[in-house]
Amino acid sequence: MQAVQCKMARTALGLGVRDLAAAAGVSADTVARFERGDALKDRTVAALQAALEAAGVIFIEENGEGPGVRLRKAAAGAN
């Protein structure tokens, strides 16, 4: 996951920096630093990615058009 993907995913879900930080078990400053482009430990990035994926984000790898994110479809019968 890249910093820009983190910010896109968080915004698409309507989460604030503090919301994502709480879900990932990290500080809000850590989320802000990552989104600014600062390097974080791999396990910290993994925690952020796992929290976003649990909230419904699918990460799209670089494919010549740049990395991206997509929201998972709601399960059938879900509102």
1: nearest Cα among 65, 48, 55, 38: 48
Q: Please state, in angstroms and rounded to a whole number, the distance separating the CA atoms of residues 20 and 77.
A: 27
Report which DSSP code applies to 21: H
Domains (range + CATH), the chain: 3-71 (1.10.260.40)
Given the structure tokens 């909230």, which residue do they identify? 55
At residue 27, does pLDDT exceed 90?
A: yes
At residue 29, does pLDDT exceed 90?
A: yes
pLDDT-derived band at 79 (thresholds 50, 70, 90) equals: low
Report which DSSP code applies to 65: S
Task: Return the percentage of the chain with pLDDT > 70, whole number.
Answer: 92
